Chains A and B, each alone.
Chain A
Amino acid sequence: NAGVTQTPKFQVLKTGQSMTLQCAQDMNHEYMSWYRQDPGMGLRLIHYSVGAGITDQGEVPNGYNVSRSTTEDFPLRLLSAAPSQTSVYFCASSPGQGVGGYTFGSGTRLTVV
Chain B
Amino acid sequence: KQEVTQIPAALSVPEGENLVLNCSFTDSAIYNLQWFRQDPGKGLTSLLLIQSSQREQTSGRLNASLDKSSGRSTLYIAASQPGDSATYLCASSQGGSEKLVFGKGTKLTVNP
Chain A positions near chain B (C-beta within 8 angstroms): 31, 33, 35, 40-45, 48, 50, 56, 58, 90, 92, 94, 96, 98, 100-107
Contacts and interface: CB of A to CB of B under 8 A. Distances in A.
Nearest to B103: A42
Main secondary structure of the interface of A (DSSP, over half): strand
Interface of B: 31-32, 34, 36, 42-46, 49, 51-52, 89, 91, 93, 96-105
B28 to A, nearest CB: 16
A32 B36 CA distance: 17
* B contact face: mostly helix, strand, loop, or mixed: strand
Contacts, number: 60
A43 B32 contact: no
Nearest to B34: A101
A50 B31 CA distance: 15
A96 B32 CA distance: 11
A31 B31 CA distance: 14
Given A31-B97, A50-B97, A101 B46 contact: yes
